[in-house]
């Protein structure tokens, strides 16, 4: 229970400044405020680098702008994922410093500069087509105050590409790997480094890739320990989890 | 149509040595004999290295022994796959030179020595648990007159293992790669060599490996060109296809 | 390790033409160059008939043209798969000898004539609707320097069609069979010839064909030995693997 | 509505032999008796060749024997499918003329001889392992008064086998085809004859056969018209439907 | 083997009217002609009521018109399934008596009147949305010379609807039942009649109907014997099989 | 059996007012009328609050208007689900008091006011995107005469939201919970209350949500007792079942 | 917030009977006690008829007995589902009035008699093999204080069976329907009554029943409104939900 | 490239102590040694807390003991997962300080004490049946030098259980959550804390849980950001990844 708030009420009561009825009224919503409080607490923590996020898919442009206005009023940084060109144009009208990360289909509005975490997050993609998902992860991690280094188009079909990046990769504090088709890259990376790897299957592929299922299964069955997985095309989730880990 | 056989019958008829009725009788089954003939033709070809095969699963020991006796009477080499210890014991009683390849669960009876094909077939396995399937492929290829080199336990979790084999691997004329779990090894191998790769998914794994489905999908979606795939755990099929290719 | 390059450096050092520091600098990237070297080696091999390939799906026309320009600058033959009419029109502007294989949806730019491999590759399709996939395989094999003979619309519903092609088919060195719906044709062909068969399931069908899954499963479970399988609609992969085999 | 029964009641009422109340009592259950009547009607039809069937799987031996006693008391022929040795032994004690079709795992008790239908039903199996399912179909059709001709082990891997049976096959009035693995045989047969084909996928196979799913999908997507399908391993259902068709 | 043709050749040879070389030439293609002959035989049979069929999906209008012209030149009846309005308009220009069955999306061109089979085929649909599939079955059966009676919108949610049709239904010689969603209607019908039932799952439904898979599985697992199944939305296949059965 | 109708006929017969033949004629269709009668009975019950429903998906606007006219002629309330704007516009022309529930995509025409059931139904949604499905449930329940209270956007990612609603939620007589993605909310709600919970999985999500399958499976496996499930996006079904329960 | 408890603490503080520190200590755990309180509230409600439940599968006999002892010490009725013979024998030793419902594989210990709810719950099963699941539902509902009427073996293959039960069925306040195979019975029942129907798919069946998946899908896609579904073989869940509904 | 080793060779050459041939011989395997070196590097890192792991499933006891002996000879800590009682007994004979974590089915041999990481890892399980998987995660993390706090049996069906642990949970540096059935717990935990959550689906459940697939999908679709997922029942992988994160 929020001791400060509670003590204040109880002291007021003990000192006769408020009546029992008033105390009860103030405490009436405490349990949920309390949970709200821990939430607030958590939110406070979150405020130290966590953006407010809008998942734009399935929302109208108008709805998105309204939610964005609500968020920006709090002074928090905004992250709008799966945002089309039109969403960006509308947001830019209201928030002049809105930035459109076109490849990632992400709009960010950075209202206050964050102190960067010490290490860096590596974001790796297997093929060119996986880059939008990788970018969503990278931009998410950046808006949360992380340095990000990108290693794109280094898939296993040309193994020398990823091996040549190994020295730098192995200095990352957490690695996000986006890959479609057979999704083998996280296994290869995970086998080469002693770093947490977050694998993001992408829907890149055709036929028996089943829109990312083949990659997803491949990653879940990775023979390299230390690999965890997020949903297909969920670059945001990977970037977010990587940021939480890097902040540790 | 088999011209030799046909001409013989027609000449007999033209020369009055046989009647029309006799000619018809002899030709009556020709169409299917004909197909049979091309089959025989093919079988003749097969005889130059193709074993007769018994898939033991779902057959009684007695049935297997009977079929084996039938095959060995033709003087052909015998290959009995998915054969348990008991099958071997019974076969050994009848065919003293029967050999049990325990790890592959294969019994071979080599009745005539085959001339070896020129090149060699590489058989690669990702993990120790994939070895039985790899062995089934290797033994199948060997009984068909091929030199086989084995590269076992060289999965992608420790990439240096497969890379160190590269010089030798790249001299193979065809490569069989058996892997379970995420099945990434064929992609890595296929990306490193310019050789046909036959990928065999194995049922090694648990949970979302779905008894080899994850590996199967991974291999079908391989980002490396030149990789073809056989059924889960089908070491025999991979070895057989490799032998056909090496014989080319 | 690349002995020529290495020897040169070591000789320079032994003869005092370079210092240890210089030698180290030159050798510093050797491991990856080394892998790069084997890659180059491989690439050299590839250059003897392997095209550079662009998978156009999911790339913008502009991106495709840029990559194509990059490839053609190396003097290699170009193969652009899944290329629409618009892609072709743009490529033709830059590369006047670009050829559009409309049915296969493939653009080729042949910058140097390849010596043909000795045998031929048979490309077989079950139905008219499977022809685009079959054509992708055929054109791929051709640009890699192979003679290709086409056997189209010879599915199992009218068995006499494929049987009448048998004499010619059985002379092929490798056979690609594209089929949708139940995908039975590779089993039938594989049972009639002693030749490697590469089966390509197509997404032709409806309902419980599940966009090629029924054909894929049928081919993976083929009762004919010697059949290997590629991804649904992956005509390119089949043609590429067939070319590798024919080159053996 | 059962006119005989109804008329009798109404006549009784019209003639004053029964009161309205009695008539109502007798008619109270008529609607369901009526449906029961059409059922009886149907059952009468069924009695002309339809056996009473016990699906033994999941029933205790005791339960099976009780149901069998109940059925045999009606003088109808009995068909007990998926019956193990023990079931047969117990049934034989009570019904001395019980016959055990061991391969089909079916027990029949023929209490009255049926007049045979005119034509015959062909029952075809692809491999030896499919024979139990084929036998279940054959025995079911026989106990329903049909002549059955068996064509076993004629799968597509050796096409000449089924082609050589064509003349006889094409005289059947309906053909049951049991096949596992890729399940291609019904397509081949359906393409060769102008006869209804009932395809039975069997669970024979391994890996990506998924216990008969590959065969099932293959059959549902048959490119030959006139092929209909029953559940995996449902030899009984195929034989039953074939008998209904032959009786037409 | 076709004895008439064969005898003629052999007699010619025996009588010196043709040489051995000529006899060989004439017999050279016999095996396949032979198969072709049985095919012709079959085709002859087919000509007695079997239409030539074009599956229009995935074909251009031009291709369809060409194939149609080819077929109509033989004097056979034409059935073009999954034909859109545009296909019909083009066909009508060439074949004035082309009829468009709009709901079934089928075009028929009846070039010669067929003698009707004796019995009738019942075509049943569960809901209004299943009617197009049912119509495809009905029109297919009709063009093959069968009387068809339609029973539409009689699904199990209002059981009295199908029960009230029972007397008429039970006189059909074969019943086609099209149903989507849970696909329960064939089980109910199959339990009420002693007639072969061909079940057609339709893709009607949403969510966990998985585009007809729920209905397909329901029908394959029907607790009523005598029910066989065709592919999802395959009204043509059901109508064709029903026609084969009714013709028996 | 409908005793009034039956008695009338029998009395007429007993009193000689009608002949046996006439009685038989009148009774001929009784069984089905009888079922019809129980149906009518049921329909009478239904009339006490059950709307007539049109599922608009897959129907033309014209068809919908015709069916609606037919229904409204009976004086019953109308519920048209999955109705687009155009459907509403057309319906409004004919039925001026038609109401369009835009978010639910439902049109209602309330021709007679229903007496409200005593308790209320709670309709809960996890996210904003689930609201259309929740609304479909809510509007369905309302048109059936139920008070509905909405609790939207209270998903488990912010647990305090649902907990703060608990006191009010626990007074509902039945709770409908719509959720997509992982579908965890019904488990949480079901664990907190002692009320029947009807879970509606929605197709909200992407990737491995498989259009609602993940949510569906989650709900079917709920660790909270008392949770039952309807089809994906089936807000109507949930609202209908909730109304049946509340009416109890 | 629990006002009584809170007021007491605040009054004590206001009146100086306790210090602020003491008040804080007492209030420290209030939020969770509060939730606990609502839980207790709920539990109190539950005590009015809700049993304590042990799901025995995957627990050792010893563990089960310990949990049972713990529960019975509270005086609540016990329900142990999926309990084998051995579990019962051990429980009987400790709780002499333990009853084993063998078919349902359920042990109950009724420590206090419950007042019966007014209406009754109908429990319906399609086939004999579905009876264990139906019994689990029935016994669960009974131990929760409900009258249950059983209607077993009334599946759709013999429709008259369920129709003859209609008058009684339609008086139930809620109906549980257990069915395997195609799972059509709930649709038929739901179409005949105006009562909530809880459908329980069972794993009865083989082949494409996929251990209950066919039945599950059928039920989720029921064309009858008012049908909700629980997990495969989850008789307990159905009985529990039915009891909650009947208690309303 | 390993500069020390390289320099030594080059210096030797420059100084004439070795010949060019000798230098080449020594450098010949450098590239792979080089990779081996980075591997060694990595392995060195690993040695600082990473155990050597044996996955016992599918290995014989003898094989396991041999591998264990090999590992222990290096002085590293050993972790043998999925180890039955017999494996432990055999290992204990050779390694007296082997410890059997029976519930986790894990054997550990701790040969050198590790310095504990600063923070702690929380391991949470939803139900009692999930505890073995949770324990595997916990023991894995512990042998890697982490403090672990266990929170078992706190699933969402009784939400107060997890909420009451929140204050302690939120202090963890990473949280592992194991849950079967609907797998909702990670979403709830992830929504309450700002900590990385690793979700482990377990195969606990029945019917439509599909051996953990329902839980897996639920976790992949978690509406709470920061949740990543490992394979079904992969407690080891979760514990290993958690240890990598905590070590950061």
Model pLDDT for residues F27-55, shown as the tens digit of each residue? 654 444 444 444 433 443 444 567 788 99
Is F223 at the interface with chain G, CB within 8 A?
Answer: no
How far is B239 from B236, CA to CA, in rounded Å?
Answer: 5
E208 contacts G182? CB cut-off 8 A: no
**Ranges A120-124, D240-244, E66-70: which has the least confidence:** E66-70
> What is the DSSP annotation of B179-205?
E-TT--HHHHHHHH-SS-EEEEE----
The yes-or-no verdict on residue A31 having pLDDT over 50 is no
Residue E112's SS3 state is coil
Query: How many inter-chain contacts (C to H, CB under 8 Å) are there?
Result: 52
How far is E204 from E181, CA to CA, in rounded Å?
Answer: 6
Greater model confidence, A221 or C46: A221
Strand blocks (E) in chain A: 52-55, 78-81, 98-101, 106-109, 120-125, 147-151, 174-179, 197-201, 227-229
Residue in C129, C160, C206 nearest the CB of E233: C206
**Ranges D190-194, G171-175, H43-47: which has the least confidence:** H43-47
How far is D240 from G239, CA to CA, in rounded Å?
Answer: 37
Q: What's the start-to-end Cα distance of chain H, in Å?
A: 26
> What is the DSSP annotation of D59-89?
S-HHHHHHHHHHHHTTT--EEEES--HHHHH
Residue in C127, C183, C187 nearest the CB of D157: C187
Residue A151's SS3 state is strand
Subunit partners of chain A (3 or more CB pairs within 8 A): B, C, F, G, H
C32 contacts A204? CB cut-off 8 A: no
Tens digits of residue pLDDT in H111-167: 888 778 789 999 999 988 899 999 999 999 999 999 999 999 888 887 878 887 888
pLDDT at A36: 40
8 Å CB contact between H173 and H145: no
Closest-CA residue of F relative to D13 is F14
Query: D-chain residues within 8 Å CB-CB of B235?
Result: none
Query: A-chain residues within 8 Å CB-CB of F163?
Result: 32, 35
Per DSSP bridges, beta strands H78-81 and H98-101 are: unpaired
Q: What is the mean pLDDT of chain F?
A: 86
Question: Looking at domain G120-246, does it have CATH number 3.40.50.970?
Answer: no
C129 contacts E32? CB cut-off 8 A: no
pTM, entire model: 0.88
∠E11-E13-E16 over CA atoms, to 5°?
Answer: 110
* Mean pLDDT score, G33-48: 42
Q: List, for chain H, all residue ranges whose pLDDT scores fall below the cut of 50.
A: 1-2, 29-47
* Phi, then psi, of H157 in degrees rounded to 5: -65, -25
Region of residue A49 (phi > 0: left; psi between -120 and 50: alpha; otherwise: beta): left
Query: From the candidates C35, C119, C192, C196, which should be mutated to test the interface with B, based on the most B CB atoms within 10 A?
Result: C196
The yes-or-no verdict on residue D236 having pLDDT over 70 is yes
**Ranges B136-140, C47-51, C220-224: which has the least confidence:** C47-51
How far is G21 from G29, CA to CA, in rounded Å?
Answer: 14
8 Å CB contact between E158 and E129: no
E57 contacts C163? CB cut-off 8 A: no
Look-up of token digits 């290495």 = C6
B35 contacts D207? CB cut-off 8 A: no
Structure confidence at residue E10 as a pLDDT band (50, 70, 90): confident
* Phi, then psi, of F99 in degrees rounded to 5: -120, 135
pLDDT at E248: 60
Tens digits of residue pLDDT in A104-147: 999 999 988 877 878 999 999 998 889 999 999 999 999 999 99
Subunit partners of chain F (3 or more CB pairs within 8 A): A, D, E, G, H
Q: List the F197-201 sheet strands across, edge first.
A: F147-151, F120-125, F174-179, F197-201, F227-229, G227-229, G197-201, G174-179, G120-125, G147-151
Is A232 at the interface with chain F, CB within 8 A?
Answer: yes
Query: F-chain residues within 8 Å CB-CB of E207?
Result: 201, 203, 211-212, 216, 231-234
Residue E248: Cβ within 10 Å count: 18
How far is E148 from B112, CA to CA, in rounded Å?
Answer: 65
Query: C-chain residues within 8 Å CB-CB of A209?
Result: 231
C207 contacts E212? CB cut-off 8 A: yes
CA distance H147 to chain F (A): 28
CA distance H206 to chain A (A): 22
**Exposed e or buried b per residue across E28-44, where buried means at least 16 C-beta atoms within 10 angstroms of its C-beta:** eebbbbbbbbbbbebbe
How far is A81 from A53, CA to CA, in rounded Å?
Answer: 7
Query: B-chain residues within 8 Å CB-CB of A207?
Result: 220-221
Query: D-chain residues within 8 Å CB-CB of C217?
Result: 182, 208-210, 213-214, 217-218
Query: From the candidates D159, D204, D206, D210, which should be mutated to test the interface with B, based on the most B CB atoms within 10 A?
Result: D206
Per DSSP bridges, beta strands C78-81 and C106-109 are: antiparallel
CA distance D173 to chain E (A): 7
* Mean pLDDT score, F141-162: 90
Closest-CA residue of C relative to E235 is C207
Q: For chain E, give the percent of residues with pLDDT over 90.
A: 54
Query: G-chain residues within 8 Å CB-CB of D41?
Result: none
pLDDT at G48: 54
Structure tokens that stand for F56 in this block: 């608009």
Query: G-chain residues within 8 Å CB-CB of D201?
Result: 207
Structure confidence at residue C27 as a pLDDT band (50, 70, 90): low
pLDDT at A196: 96
How far is C176 from C227, CA to CA, in rounded Å?
Answer: 10
Tens digits of residue pLDDT in B32-82: 344 443 443 344 344 456 778 899 987 889 889 988 888 888 778 899 999
Structure confidence at residue A34 as a pLDDT band (50, 70, 90): very low
CA distance C13 to chain B (A): 27
pLDDT at B248: 60
How far is G121 from B62, CA to CA, in rounded Å?
Answer: 57
How far is D10 from D14, CA to CA, in rounded Å?
Answer: 6
CA distance A237 to chain H (A): 6
pLDDT at C248: 61
Query: B-chain residues within 8 Å CB-CB of A204?
Result: none
How far is D98 from F95, CA to CA, in rounded Å?
Answer: 70
Structure confidence at residue D41 as a pLDDT band (50, 70, 90): very low
Closest-CA residue of B relative to D165 is B32
Tens digits of residue pLDDT in A165-199: 888 898 999 999 999 999 999 999 998 888 999 99
Structure confidence at residue C19 as a pLDDT band (50, 70, 90): confident
> What is the DSSP annotation of chain D?
--HHHHHHHHHHHHTTSS-HHHHHHHHHTHHHHHHHHHHHHHHHHHHTTPPEEEE-TTS-HHHHHHHHHHHHTTT--EEEES--HHHHHHHHHH-TTEEEETTTTEEEE--SPPPPPSSEEEEEESSGGGHHHHHHHHHHHHHTT-EEEEE-S--GGGHHHHHHTHHHHTT-SEEEEEE-TT--HHHHHHHH-SS-EEEEE-----GGGGGGHHHHHHHHT-SSTTEEE--TT-HHHHHHHHHHHHH-
> Of D102, D45, D93, D57, whose CA–CA distance to D72 is shortest?
D93
Is H187 at the interface with chain F, CB within 8 A?
Answer: yes
Subunit partners of chain D (3 or more CB pairs within 8 A): B, C, E, F, G
pLDDT at H28: 52
8 Å CB contact between H77 and H110: yes
Is G231 at the interface with chain H, CB within 8 A?
Answer: yes
Query: A-chain residues within 8 Å CB-CB of F204?
Result: 58
The yes-or-no verdict on residue E117 having pLDDT over 60 is yes
> What is the DSSP annotation of G154-188?
--GGGHHHHHTTHHHHTT-SEEEEEE-TT--HHHH
pLDDT at G111: 86
Residue in B42, B192, B196 nearest the CB of C244: B196
8 Å CB contact between G197 and G177: yes
A10 contacts G23? CB cut-off 8 A: yes
8 Å CB contact between C196 and C188: no
8 Å CB contact between G247 and G121: no
How far is B154 from B179, CA to CA, in rounded Å?
Answer: 10
* Mean pLDDT score, C113-131: 89
Query: From the candidates H30, H41, H231, H237, which should be mutated to test the interface with B, based on the most B CB atoms within 10 A?
Result: H231
Q: List, for chain B, all residue ranges whose pLDDT scores fall below the cut of 70.
A: 1-5, 25, 27-49, 248
* D:192-221 residues touching chain E, CB 8 A cutoff: 192-196, 198, 216, 220-221
Tens digits of residue pLDDT in F189-239: 998 888 999 999 999 999 999 999 999 999 999 988 899 999 999 999 999
8 Å CB contact between E219 and D145: no
What are the extents of the domains in chain D?
A: 31-109, 120-246
ipTM above 0.90, yes or no: no
How far is B131 from B174, CA to CA, in rounded Å?
Answer: 18
Cβ burial of G124 (10 Å; 0-12, 13-18, 19+) is buried
A195 contacts H228? CB cut-off 8 A: no
Q: What is the mean pLDDT of chain B?
A: 86
Structure tokens that stand for B205 in this block: 């794994």
CA distance F160 to chain E (A): 31
CA distance F230 to chain E (A): 10
DSSP bridge partners of B149? B122
Q: What's the start-to-end Cα distance of chain E, in Å?
A: 26
Query: How many inter-chain contacts (G to H, CB under 8 Å) are there?
Result: 34
pLDDT at A49: 64
Residue in D10, D27, D35 nearest the CB of F24: D10
CA distance H189 to chain F (A): 8
Task: Taking each helix axis as running N to C, give the angle between helix C213-220 and helix C185-192, from 0 to 180 degrees, rounded to the nearest 10.
Answer: 20
Residue H42: Cβ within 10 Å count: 18
Query: G-chain residues within 8 Å CB-CB of E226?
Result: none
∠D80-D84-D90 over CA atoms, to 5°?
Answer: 75
Structure confidence at residue G4 as a pLDDT band (50, 70, 90): low
How far is B160 from B235, CA to CA, in rounded Å?
Answer: 25
């Amino acid at each position: 229970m929020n001791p400060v708030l509670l003590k204040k009420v109880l002291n007021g009561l003990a000192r006769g400044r408020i009546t029992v009825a008033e105390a009860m009224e103030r405490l009436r919503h405490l349990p949920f405020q309390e949970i709200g409080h821990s939430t607030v607490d958590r939110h406070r923590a979150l405020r130290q680098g966590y953006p407010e996020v809008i998942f734009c898919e399935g929302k109208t442009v108008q709805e998105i702008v309204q939610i964005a206005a609500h968020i920006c009023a709090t002074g928090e940084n905004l992250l709008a994922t799966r945002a089309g060109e039109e969403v960006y144009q509308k947001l830019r009208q209201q928030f002049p410093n809105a930035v459109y990360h076109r490849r990632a289909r992400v709009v960010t509005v950075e209202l206050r500069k964050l102190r960067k975490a010490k290490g860096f997050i590596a974001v790796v993609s297997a093929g060119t087509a996986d880059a939008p998902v990788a970018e969503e992860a990278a931009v998410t991690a950046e808006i949360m105050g992380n340095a990000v280094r990108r290693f794109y188009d280094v898939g296993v079909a040309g193994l020398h590409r990823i091996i040549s990046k190994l020295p730098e990769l192995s200095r990352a504090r957490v690695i996000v790997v986006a890959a479609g088709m057979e999704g083998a890259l996280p296994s290869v990376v995970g086998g080469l480094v002693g770093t947490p790897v977050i694998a993001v299957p992408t829907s890149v592929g055709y036929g028996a890739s089943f829109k990312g299922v083949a990659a997803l299964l491949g990653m879940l069955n990775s023979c390299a320990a230390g690999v965890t997985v997020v949903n297909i095309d969920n670059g945001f989730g990977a970037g977010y989890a990587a940021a939480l880990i890097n902040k540790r």
